Amino acid sequence: MTVSLPLVLVLGVIAWAAIKFLGIRLWVVVVIALFGFYLSQTFLAPAIDTGTRTGVEVVNGTNK
């Protein structure tokens, strides 16, 4: 069975849980999100994309 969830929804739930249960402040979550958008426009973006895809393949067990 395959479940498709938008990444924004997953990250939103993680952020909500971090604020609610770990006591992380809202401004820290906002700064981390903005830093992620900043990194996506740098030369590191291809490495981040490749690492993320490889991690998802490992978790899903779909290594080629």
Do the Cβ atoms of 36 and 52 come closer than 8 Å?
A: no
| Joined tokens for residue 52 | 């993320």
Q: Please, what is the end-to-end C-alpha distance for the chain in angstroms? A: 20
Q: 């006591």: which residue's tokens?
A: 23
**pLDDT tens track for 8-53:** 888 889 889 999 999 999 999 888 888 888 888 889 889 888 988 8
pLDDT band for position 64 (50/70/90)?
Answer: low
Task: Provide the greatest CA pair distance for the chain.
Answer: 40
The answer to whether the beta carbons of residues 19 and 29 sit under 8 Å apart is yes
